[in-house]
Each structure stands twice: as structure tokens, then as C-alpha cells.
Amino acid sequence: MRPGDVDDEGAAARAGGRLPGDPVPDPGVGDEEPPAGPPPRRRTAYGRAFVHALPVLLIVVAILYDIFTPRYFTAGPLYTAAPLVAAPLYSRRGTALTGVAVVASVIGLQLGKGVIHYVDSLTELITIATVAVLAVLVNGMVRRSSERLVSVREIAEAAQRAVLPEPAERIAGFEIAVCYEAAQADAFIGGDLYAVQDSARGVRLIVGDVRGKGMGAVAAVAVVIGAFREAAEQESTLEAVAQRLERALAREGTRRDGLDAFEGFTTAVLAELPHGDGTVRIVNRGHPPPLLLYADGTLGALPARESALPLGMGELGVWPDRAEEVAFPGGATLLLYTDGLTEARDAGGEFYDPQTRLAGRVFRHPATLLDTLAEDVRRHSGGGMADDMALLAVRRPRPGDHDHCHEP
């Protein structure tokens, strides 16, 4: 498709589903009203503060219970719970001080009630003191586990920076932003990938999704990214870049044992932004179609006119890649994403639809778009992503645009 070649269906898609002649919403129209009550981050902060103060609250409640109840009533379970709750929350010193406070409180209250010499009271005191000592030991184990977890997270972060380095905010005059969110808790990298490479023929981009999970998928990501960076520099066409990736994955498949040797593949969309030309060229290999967000708030999908197999499945058939060219005017933003975005479901099982959620909205910087989109997806799915999500947004500034700062 060339600039200006727009049929009726394409025009309706570009208008975000509106009919010709319908008014275009003002910038920002379509934004959701903020939910009632404190924002999620503030609610989370309140919850953490309450949990952190819980050992102290347990001691206070236990003391009040002992003071205002008959002398043979006891709040032993509350005293016992306080140091155990403190063990994973506080430092070793804080946990020990909690245990000392509990034992001192019990001794003081038993003396005040005159029951410290009874067998039951003495047994309760020994039990609480024993639990306080055990809480200090548990705290030491938790701290060692936390230190190991921090080390693992640092290694994961280093691996992500090595395999998926974050591109510069401006490359060859284009404004660029990326976002990666792993579905697995505390994971930093998975089977989704992105890369941006400037070349003599324009800025070239890739967003893809490797089949499978775990370290095998990460290894395949490294292969695709390495092959893309080399091919983007050397190949004269975007179609040739796609063929280089196909061959790289075929070589990788011969090294992998078992089922992945026959079924491994990567869906991907490649894009090329020629220097000084208001167009974008796209090759889609079985991947969700990119979205183009225009400066007036309209948007449309850029589906491939001809279906193509994912990368790594060339043995099933040979179809020559054909790049499709569309207009990419100033002020527009190209959004590439993986299916973790569109497969996010809400409590009722409804999939997330970025076209519907973004129609009529204007973003002055691609980073603002991705921050808003990621937060909206988390809210839609209740924070539980079913799959990894990679987002890449590129904006072509309009002539005379000033550099935009990353808006919150």
C-alpha cells in the first residue's frame, strides 16, 4: 500500500471505527475516568505500612486484652504471633527487640496480676520466650534467602540489559520507547524480543515472540536479536533481513534436541523507517499487526495483505517476503507489540483491545503512550498477565516540534 492508497475499509479502520464525516474527538477524549478512592500505588503503600506495623499492634492489643480482662485470661497467642510476624519484616535487631518487648510485657503483666508463680503462667512465659528466640533464627534464614534473591535479580537484570538493551530515546530524528513486562513474577526476560538498529537505509525495528518458555526461549531470543542487528546493517532490503533471520533460526533448530528442533518458531514484525521519507515499510511474519496512531487521535491497524509463516518455519513452504509501505506522517506514532497485550483478559474473560482503548487519545511522547498502555493492561487484567508483553513505539516528530520530555 502506497501513501494515499486508502480504500473505504482502510479509512474506517484509520478513523478508529468512526464513519466518514463523524467528528474526531478532541485530544485526550476517551481517557477513562480515574477510579474512585486512593490510587493503586497509594493503597499498596498503606497496606505495606499496616503490615510493617502489625507486630507492634499485636503487642498493644495483647497488653490491652490482659489489662481489661480477668487475671486468668491470657493473650498468649497474640504475644506468640508478634515475633513470628516480625521475623520476615524486620531486621535481626528489630526482631530481637520485638521478642524482648513481648517477654517483658508478659512478665510485667503477670507480676501485676500476681500469677507469675503459677505453673500455667510460667509455661506460657517459657513458650513465648522460646518462640521469640526461634523468630530471631527464622529472621536470619529469611535474610540469607533475600540476599540470594537479590543476587539472582541482579543477574537477571544484567542478562536483560545484555540481550535486550534499551535503545536511545532518539535515533535518526525518531522518538523511541520500549517496555517489557514478564508474566512470571520476578522474571525480567522471557520469549518476547525487540530491537532497534539504525542503518544506511533507515531505522530498522523488530518485535517478536519466540515459541516456548524458559532458557530455551531466551537462547532463541539472543539468536534472533544477534542475527537482526547484523542483517539490519548489511542487507539492502527489509525482505532480505527477514530471510537472514529465517536462516539463523534454521541453523539454531539443528542444534536443539527434542520437539523444539521441529516446532520452534518466532512470530515477528519488522519495520523500516527510511531517512527523510514519510513512510514506513513493514514485513509481518505471523505477528499481530502494528498500530499507527495519528496526531489527531485517530488510529488504525496495519495488517499484512498476504499471510506469511512465522520465522523458523520455512521448511513448510516458501513464500517470498513482500514489504508493504504505508504513509507515516509527522506527529504519528507506530506501535509494535506482542500478543501478551491482546491476550490479557479481565475477570469476565474479555481480551484487551488496544484499538478500542487508544482510539481518540493523543500522546506527545512514545514513552507516555507505553506507560499509559502498560498501566491500562495491568488494570484490565487485575495485575495477572497470562503472557509476556513487549511494546515498542516510534514517533515521527512534526517539523518544528520541540523535544518532548517524558511525561508522567
Q: What is the pLDDT of residues 341-353, one digit of tens each?
A: 998 888 888 999 9
Listed range (35-49, 181-195, 223-237, 266-280) with the worst mean pLDDT: 35-49
CA nearest neighbour of 292 among 303, 284, 283: 303
Across the strands, what pairs with 270?
206, 283
Q: What does DSSP say about strands 279-285 and 266-273: parallel, antiparallel, or unpaired? A: antiparallel
The amino acid sitting at 332 is A
Element (H, E) at 177: strand 174-181
Q: What is the pLDDT of residues 50-84, one digit of tens each?
A: 888 999 999 999 999 988 888 778 888 999 999 99
Question: Looking at residues 162-169, what average pLDDT do you find?
Answer: 83
Cβ(215)–Cβ(280) below 8 Å: no
Mean per-residue pLDDT of the chain: 81
Contacts of 311 (CB under 8 A, 6+ apart): 208, 224, 242, 245, 246, 249, 265, 266, 267, 268, 285
CA nearest neighbour of 195 among 158, 233, 157, 155: 233
Q: What is the pLDDT of residues 102-121, one digit of tens each?
A: 999 999 988 888 888 888 88
Cβ(293)–Cβ(250) below 8 Å: no
pTM for the full model?
Answer: 0.64
CA distance 204 to 92: 53
CA nearest neighbour of 267 among 251, 286, 247: 286
Q: Which cell is 207 given?
A: 518485535
Cβ(372)–Cβ(364) below 8 Å: no
| Per-domain residue ranges of the chain | 40-157, 166-395
More confident residue, 335 or 33: 335
Q: Which cell is 316 given?
A: 513448510
CA distance 268 to 282: 11
CA distance 122 to 92: 26
**pLDDT value at position 27?**
42
Count CB-CB contacts under 10 A for residue 325: 17
Question: Looking at residues 178-184, what average pLDDT do you find?
Answer: 80
Residue carrying the nine cell digits 536483560: 160
> What CATH number is given for 166-395 in this structure?
3.60.40.10
